[in-house]
Amino acid sequence: MITDSKYDVAILGGGLAGLTLARQLLQKQPDMRVAVVEKRAFPVSETTHKVGESTVEIGAHYFGEELQLKKHLTDDQLPKFGLRFFFKDAWQTLAEGTEVGGSEFFSAPSYQVDRGRLENYLQLTNTDLGAEIIDQARVRQVVIDSSEGGTKDTNHQITFERDGVPRTIESRWIVDASGRASFIKRKLKLEEDLGHDINAVWFRIDANLQIDGWCDDQDWQQLTGKVPRRWLSTNHLMGEGYWVWLIPLATGSTSVGIVADPRIHPLPTINTFEKAMAWLEIHEPECWECLQPNVDKMQDFLAIKKMSRGSRQVFSADRWGLVGEAAAFLDPFYSPGSDFIAIGNTMVGRLIEEDLAGRPIEHLAPTLQSVFLTLFQNNLITYRDQYPLFGNPRIMALKFVWDYAVYWGFPALLYFNGKLTEVGFIQSLSRGIEEIRDMNLKMQTFFRSWYEADPHVDAGAAFVDQSEIELMTRLNAELRDKVDDETLKKRFAANVELIRDLMFEITERVRRLQPTVESDIPSQSASTNRLCGVFEALEI
Ligand SMILES: Cc1cc2nc3c(=O)[nH]c(=O)nc-3n(C[C@H](O)[C@H](O)[C@H](O)COP(=O)(O)OP(=O)(O)OC[C@H]3O[C@@H](n4cnc5c(N)ncnc54)[C@H](O)[C@@H]3O)c2cc1C
């Protein structure tokens, strides 16, 4: 039943971004009038509802702490044993190849999420919080009122169709959370080509596929403890131009996906279940073997072409915003989707709060947008043109340390401390942020040059235990301390130094092995040797 026709905020799309935004807004301001217009009917199906099951620290913190969903996540979803990566040739066992991952859980938690289960929970609890969830309603038209022409009281208009009947509601704010439909982005022609052309196919199997059982080497099995628990990781089976994901779901199913650079693995080679299986038999035979007896338990199959997408604008002082995939999506490799939902929702929430309190947002909207797009672009270079490197264990094991250090040391640190929407605070860090951006650009180029100089490396038997890399465990653990502004500034400055040192340590060591790697990073010794164990394990 629709009880009203005027709202403070109308959210287009009741998926993960839209439902979490409604919860966030109502938890802060219970009297806010919030409508969510969703084309599907609730409750949605579990297991096969949507892809996007693995969370990392920012998204997990947003869901667990900011939105107070911890009980749901711990009782009804699965804990995640970090990201884990395997490199090996087809003839090798897992114990004979290179594995990169933790032997312990990192301090800051993350979760494997059954999307249907979470969205159903959010729909029910949002209704209790006072949101108007209008399901089975397809948005057909949106009229955006421009504040230049309108007055403070003029509203945007949203027309949707429900049971074949059109209906129009008005709202001061519109937030587009319609996922890939990207209603407003299309309407305002804001699409941006990111130059990152990656495809994916995925399916769910009604069986708990445990990677721990793929190799019976006792020593290998116990590297992560006596109880098998690698299966709780987001497991990445790595190869040149691709990675395969294995994600366990609380419903007992396993999500399996192949993500590939079409220049190396064209989509037509994997875009049906039969073709995906044939491809797995060649490239990841152990995975294929494990799936083979379970093929009749296949629950769904989907393919997506060119999944990365950007937007020239995401927030407007004209009281609209884009969140979730309706705004932008990078690449699922490090599971950043929920992170950008967290960041976008937090920013748009701040804009709504300021505006409803009668404060101007003409400067705040473009400033927050610039922070959002900078984070997005900085993250994009982590993936763009890097898929050819994905089969090289040496380069990737060091790239993981680098990418995690940049992620935990900068955006995650600021997000956990509630600072990504504090413009003055962010501006006070601008020199350090600019330096990290510049170093990241150079390092991603360095990894590519290294690959060009030495593309193919056999994966030797090695376990790069990230729990033994002090800088990683510390940066992760520090996320959990809430600190005052001065301490945070010092911590950030220390992280910039650490990242700079890491850059010198990696590049110096690699140059010893491969003097022909081209780079504009100056030759300089690091002040501390933090990665000796990793270099040794990888024979660098
Ligand atoms: C291959 C792949 C793997 C991914 N893996 C991960 C991962 O492991 N972790 C992660 O965090 N993220 C991942 N993502 C990203 C993930 O999909 C997003 O983080 C998340 O699903 C986006 O949520 P959303 O709410 O923006 O979109 P959605 O969940 O798609 O929600 C959009 C909603 O809008 C509704 N809608 C659309 N059009 C209309 C309309 N006209 N009227 C009314 N309603 C409408 C839809 O029905 C839908 O419910 C992955 C993405 C891809 C492509």
64: domain CATH number is 3.30.9.100
- Residues 314 and 356 grouped into a single domain: yes
- Residues 335 and 439 grouped into a single domain: no
- Residues 220 and 338 grouped into a single domain: no
Q: Is 346 in the pocket of ligand 1 (CB under 6 A)?
A: no
Nearest CA to ligand 1 atom 1: 200
Q: What pTM does this model have?
A: 0.97
Residue 37 lies in a domain: yes
Percentages (nearest 5) of helix, strand, coil residues in the chain: 45, 20, 35
Q: Which among 49, 15, 56 has a CA at the least distance from the CA of 335?
A: 56
The distance between the two most distant Cα atoms of the chain, rounded to a whole number of Å, is 71
Residue 347 to residue 364: CA distance in whole angstroms:
10
Residue 473 lies in a domain: no
Residue 372 lies in a domain: yes
- Residues 359 and 437 grouped into a single domain: no
| pLDDT on residue 153 | 62
Residue 477 lies in a domain: no
Query: Do residues 37 and 13 lie in contact, with contact meaning Cβ atoms separated by under 8 Å?
Result: yes
Cα 11 to ligand 1 centroid, rounded to whole Å: 14
When divided into structural domains, the chain yields a total of 3
- Residues 380 and 423 grouped into a single domain: no
- Residues 126 and 37 grouped into a single domain: yes
Residue 140 to residue 59: CA distance in whole angstroms:
30
| pLDDT on residue 47 | 81
Q: Is 10 in the pocket of ligand 1 (CB under 6 A)?
A: no
Residue 184 neighbours by CB under 8 Å, 6+ apart: 12, 142, 144, 174, 176, 190, 320, 322, 326
Q: Taking the alpha carbons of 525, 527, 532, 534 in that order, is the dihedral positive or negative?
A: negative
Residue 502 neighbours by CB under 8 Å, 6+ apart: 401, 402, 405, 471, 526, 530, 531
Indicate which atom in ligand 1 lies nearest the CA of residue 339: 11
| pLDDT on residue 150 | 47
Domain that includes residue 492, residue range: 393-455+483-540
- Residues 421 and 526 grouped into a single domain: yes
Q: Is 392 in the pocket of ligand 1 (CB under 6 A)?
A: no
From 385, 414, 440, the end of a domain falls on: 385
Taking phi over 0 as left and psi of -120 to 50 as alpha, with beta for the rest, 172 belongs to alpha
Residue 465 lies in a domain: no
Q: Is 337 in the pocket of ligand 1 (CB under 6 A)?
A: yes
Query: Do residues 442 and 401 lie in contact, with contact meaning Cβ atoms separated by under 8 Å?
Result: no
Residue 121 lies in a domain: yes
162: domain CATH number is 3.50.50.60
Q: Is 123 in the pocket of ligand 1 (CB under 6 A)?
A: no
Q: Which amino acid is at 205?
A: I
Average pLDDT, 10 consecutive residues per value, the chain (540 residues): 80 98 98 98 90 96 98 98 96 96 97 97 98 97 72 82 95 97 96 96 97 96 95 98 98 97 97 98 97 97 95 96 97 96 98 96 97 96 96 97 98 98 96 97 98 89 96 98 97 98 96 92 91 92
- Residues 531 and 488 grouped into a single domain: yes
Per-residue DSSP letter, 288: H
Query: Do residues 123 and 113 lie in contact, with contact meaning Cβ atoms separated by under 8 Å?
Result: no
From 304, 335, 354, the end of a domain falls on: 304
Indicate which atom in ligand 1 lies nearest the CA of residue 247: 8
- Mutate which of 56, 159, 338 for ligand 1 pocket (most atoms within 8 A of beta carbon): 338
Nearest CA to ligand 1 atom 30: 179
Q: Which amino acid is at 365?
A: A
Q: Is 14 in the pocket of ligand 1 (CB under 6 A)?
A: yes
- Residues 283 and 315 grouped into a single domain: no
Nearest CA to ligand 1 atom 27: 179
Nearest CA to ligand 1 atom 19: 337
- Residues 39 and 126 grouped into a single domain: yes
DSSP annotation string for 85-110: EEE--TTS-GGGSEEEE-SS--SS--
Nearest CA to ligand 1 atom 53: 307
From 348, 364, 385, the end of a domain falls on: 385
- Residues 213 and 327 grouped into a single domain: no
Backbone angles phi, psi at 94, to 5 degrees: -60, -35
Residue 460 lies in a domain: no
Indicate which atom in ligand 1 lies nearest the CA of residue 327: 26
- Residues 63 and 156 grouped into a single domain: no
Indicate which atom in ligand 1 lies nearest the CA of residue 324: 26
